[in-house]
């Protein structure tokens, strides 16, 4: 009997995957290609509505960094729809005014808190993820370690992008050019697009962007506060 038990144990050793095999398997899932479609400056009326429809028709979700003042301009329904469709929402300030955010009398955190309120009032969600208007290294503002610490002390998290469709700078760019510039071969692509009132061409480009990432085997994800942050601190010379 003893022998049979030992034999069984030896047998089990061979068929049970070793720890390193389990690790390998989980690494394989970790290395799958992921795309985060992200939109700044929403809600932008019909532009945002059209984008929500395109996302829904394709059965994918995105992350929208919202402007509070625009939500309060009678666009709460769009935000409700956005969230009930499974999209993520984040902070992009209340006014998007660089003076009010970064000027000598500006208050970045007041702007973000007001935006958080507008989102909460519209859809009941309290979000802690944020994207800096104009990015965190613009001509208006450069992210520092102390600012980052302050952001983290308020439980906020920063998300930049690593693929720029350039539709912020060039909203009139043709939809096919926007779609082309939104493409990437990165393992994890965080694509920047815009969904403000003047981003009609981005709405027209979105289906092509989605088709590209689908065809290339990407999984679509939304940003949550579990997502690893993405930012860059440029050291002063």
Rank residues 111 and 218 by Cβ distance to Zn ion and give the closer one.
Answer: 111
Name the nearest CA neighbour of 81 among 50, 58, 111, 112: 50
- Using Cβ positions, the residue closest to Zn ion within the complex turns out to be 40
b/e code 76-105 from CB counts within 10 Å (16+ = b): bebbebbbeeebbbbbbbbbbebebbbeee
* Of 43, 68, 133, 171, the one binding Zn ion by CB under 5 A: 133
Q: How far is the CB of 28 from Zn ion (least distance, A)?
A: 37
DSSP 8-class letter at 174? -
Q: Does 40 bind Zn ion (CB under 5 A)?
A: yes
Q: Where are the beta strands (DSSP E) in 49-145?
A: 63-66, 88-91, 129-130
Rank residues 63 and 218 by Cβ distance to Zn ion and give the closer one.
Answer: 63
Cα–Cα distance for residue pair 167/174, rounded to 1 Å? 9
Angle 204-207-213 from CA coordinates, rounded to 5°: 140
Segment near Zn ion (CB under 5 A); pick from 101-109, 118-126, 131-139, 149-157? 131-139
* Of 36, 41, 78, 91, the one binding Zn ion by CB under 5 A: 41
Rank residues 140 and 220 by Cβ distance to Zn ion and give the closer one.
Answer: 140
Q: How far is the CB of 161 from Zn ion (least distance, A)?
A: 11
Q: How far is the CB of 128 from Zn ion (least distance, A)?
A: 18
Q: How far is the CB of 27 from Zn ion (least distance, A)?
A: 36
Segment near Zn ion (CB under 5 A); pick from 101-109, 119-127, 129-137, 216-224? 129-137
Tokens of residue 170, six digits: 């060039």
Cα–Cα distance for residue pair 190/231, rounded to 1 Å? 12
CB 65 within 8 A of CB 91: yes
Q: How far is the CB of 184 from Zn ion (least distance, A)?
A: 20
Residues that bind Zn ion (CB under 5 A): 40-41, 133
């Amino acid at each position: 009997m003893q022998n049979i038990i030992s034999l069984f144990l030896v047998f089990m050793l061979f068929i049970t995957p070793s720890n390193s095999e389990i690790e390998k398997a989980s690494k394989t899932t970790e290395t799958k290609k992921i795309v985060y479609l992200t939109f700044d400056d929403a809600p932008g009326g019909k532009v945002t509505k059209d984008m929500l429809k395109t996302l829904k028709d394709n059965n994918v979700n995105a992350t929208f960094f919202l402007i509070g003042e625009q939500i309060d301009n009678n666009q709460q329904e769009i935000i409700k729809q956005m969230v009930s469709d499974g999209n993520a929402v984040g902070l992009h300030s209340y006014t998007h005014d660089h003076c009010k955010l970064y000027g000598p009398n500006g208050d970045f955190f007041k702007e973000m808190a007001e935006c958080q309120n507008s989102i909460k009032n519209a859809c009941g969600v309290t979000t802690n993820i944020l994207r800096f208007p104009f990015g965190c290294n613009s001509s208006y503002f450069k992210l520092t370690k102390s600012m980052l610490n302050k952001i983290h002390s308020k439980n906020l998290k920063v998300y930049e992008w690593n693929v720029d469709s350039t539709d912020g700078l060039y909203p009139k760019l043709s939809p096919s050019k926007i779609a082309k510039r939104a493409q990437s071969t990165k393992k994890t692509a965080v694509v920047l697009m815009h969904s403000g009132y003047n981003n009609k061409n981005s709405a027209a480009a979105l289906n092509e962007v989605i088709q590209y990432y689908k065809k290339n085997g990407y999984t679509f994800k939304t940003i949550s506060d579990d997502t690893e942050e993405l930012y860059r601190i440029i050291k002063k010379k």
